[in-house]
Amino acid sequence: MIELNADEARVLGVLIEKAMTTPDQYPLSLNAVVNGANQKNNRDPVLTMEENQAFAALEGLRGQGLVIRSDMVGSRVNKYKHAAGEALHARPGELAILAELMLRGPQTLGELRGRASRMHPFETLDDVKNMLTALATREQVLVKELPPAPGSRAERYMQLLAPDAHPISATELSGGGSGAAPYVAPTPLTSRVSALEAEVSVLRETIRKLAQSLGEADPFPPGQ
């Protein structure tokens, strides 16, 4: 059974993400892995991973057959690529969802569709749900459904490769506490709204990055 710690989950998520979103810059050097782990967008929590932490995580992943060191001819810099598809017997869509859950923690169907679509196309919420079902019904269960967060109606999903990477409180596991809103099964309209909210969130992050690259002020300051 494959089990990861929080650093290994972050690094594996980065490798999967970069392989799908920036293939021309892949495999990654140790420095690129560190930079990817410390990105401020599409990461929760935002952290500062040191080079020695990233190296230890890469070596731990190599030991479990999830990462391969790629020695480039004529280069003195070692590069790394993931082998998660082969090691986990996972399809690209499943890998995209796992990476998103490792990088950002538990999410709803709509959030996963909006965010993971930058790595792999998901035309509908059912496409995401089918991938989650496949990951939850294999010999080593890789995802788990959680009750809706307090005040929410949408169920969430967490990855189980590194369940301690994003700790879940007892209140969250039970779906609420005193004063929490009762669970109401999501309607098609609720699902569509959740998907649109997630897509808007992704667009806002993209616009923020563009504004930053142009030296412009944040067009969406906190509170807006």
Q: What is the mean pLDDT of each run of 10 residues along the chain (224 residues)?
A: 96 98 96 97 94 97 96 80 97 98 96 96 96 96 92 92 84 47 42 56 73 75 53
pLDDT of 222 reads 52
pLDDT of 76 reads 79
Task: Report the CATH number of the 1-217 domain.
Answer: 1.10.10.10
pLDDT of 183 reads 37
pLDDT of 185 reads 40
pLDDT of 18 reads 98
Domain ranges of the chain: 1-217
* Selection from 194, 116, 97 nearest residue 155 by Cα: 194
pLDDT of 223 reads 47
pLDDT of 206 reads 74
pLDDT of 197 reads 61
Q: Are 4 and 162 in contact (CB under 8 A)?
A: yes
d(C-alpha 14, C-alpha 111), whole Å: 18
